[in-house]
Amino acid sequence: MKLNWGYKILIGYSLFVIGILFLGYKSTQLNFDLVEKDYYGKELKYQNVIDASGRATALGGALITNIDNGKLTIQFPDSLIGKRVTGLAYLYYPADAQMDLKKEFTTDKGSVEIELLTKMKGNYTLKLDIEKEGQKYYFEKKIFF
């Protein structure tokens, strides 16, 4: 059976409309997590993070991370070894907020160990807020599990 050009246009237009409706449906099924629930308030306080990051750079040295047997070990710069350090380690996973991990810690060993979840796979960002003797420091490092 041979179709004339009118039917071909109708079939092409119908396929286009069905395709657009399908893409519209699929786009409503995606989950978009914001980086922060209160991102505007955090943005206003971001200058504190910039200052803390500058102080961390001035310490000299970088964070050393090691992953072994389901544990993440974070070694602080040498100038923080032997000092009482408190802080928050935040492992941020951009694709899914449910896979983020936060852990508060206090140490004077110059390092901290974090127990990782078994489902943690992928590209994470370690955001480390620490405080020593009233001074705040901020480190950020990309980690791949």
Q: Which of helix, strand or coil describes residue 115? A: strand
Cβ proximity of 114 and 103 under 8 Å:
yes
Cβ proximity of 143 and 74 under 8 Å:
no
Fold for 39-144, please state it.
Immunoglobulin-like (2.60.40)
Per-residue pLDDT of the chain (145 residues; tens, 9 = 90+): 788 999 999 999 999 999 999 999 999 988 776 677 777 787 888 888 999 999 988 888 888 999 888 899 999 988 888 889 999 999 998 888 888 899 999 998 889 999 888 777 889 999 999 999 889 999 999 998 8
Q: Order the strands of the 85-92 sheet from edge to edge.
A: 101-107, 85-92, 123-132, 135-144
What does pTM read for this prediction?
A: 0.72
Domain coordinates of the chain in residue numbers?
A: 1-30, 39-144
- Supply the Cα-derived Rg of the chain in whole angstroms: 24
Cβ proximity of 127 and 93 under 8 Å:
no
